[in-house]
Amino acid sequence: MENQGDIKALVVEKDQTVVESIELVLKEKSYIVTSSSNEDEALGLLRKTPYPLAIVGDTKGTSSTFEIMRKIVMTSPMTSIILISDLPTKEVDERAEGYGILGHVNRSIPSKDLTLLIEHFEKISQSIHLPKT
CA 75, distance to chain mean position in Å, is: 14
Structural domain includes residue 37: yes
Q: Is residue 132 part of a domain?
A: no
- Within-domain flag for 133: no
User: Mean pLDDT across the chain, nearest whole number?
Assistant: 89
Q: Quick check: 54 and 9 in contact, CB under 8 A?
A: yes
- β-sheet bridge partners, residue 80: 53
- For the cut 90, the answer to whether the pLDDT of residue 66 exceeds it is yes
Residue 115 sits in which domain range? 8-127
120: CATH: 3.40.50.2300
Whether residue 113 lies inside any domain: the answer is yes
Categorize the per-residue pLDDT at 112 as very low, low, confident or very high, splitting at 50, 70 and 90: confident
> In this predicted model, what pLDDT tens digit does every residue of 96-110 receive, in sequence order?
888 889 999 998 876
68-74 long-range contacts (CB < 8 A, ≥24 apart) are 68/12, 68/39, 68/42, 69/96, 69/99, 69/101, 70/99, 71/39, 71/43, 72/12, 72/42, 72/43, 72/46, 73/99, 73/100
- At 15-26, the pLDDT tens digits run 999 999 999 999
CB count within 10 Å of CB 7 equals 24
pLDDT the model gives residue 20: 94
pLDDT at 60: 86
Give mean pLDDT, residues 46-53: 95
DSSP state string for 69-108 = HHHHHHH-TT-EEEEE--S-HHHHHHHHTTS---EEE-TT
Is 22 part of a structural domain of the chain?
yes
Q: Give the C-alpha separation, 62 to 78, whole Å.
A: 25
Query: pLDDT over 70 for what percent of the chain?
Result: 92
pLDDT at 63: 84
Pairing of the two strands 32-36 and 80-84? unpaired
pLDDT given at position 132:
54
Residue 1: inside a domain, yes or no?
no
Number of domains in the chain: 1
pLDDT greater than 70 at residue 133: no
Q: Is residue 2 part of a domain?
A: no
Buried b (16+ CB within 10 A) or exposed e, 14-28: eeeebbebbbebbee
Q: Is residue 106 part of a domain?
A: yes
Categorize the per-residue pLDDT at 62 as very low, low, confident or very high, splitting at 50, 70 and 90. Answer: confident
Please indicate whether residue 61 or residue 45 has the higher confidence score (pLDDT): 45
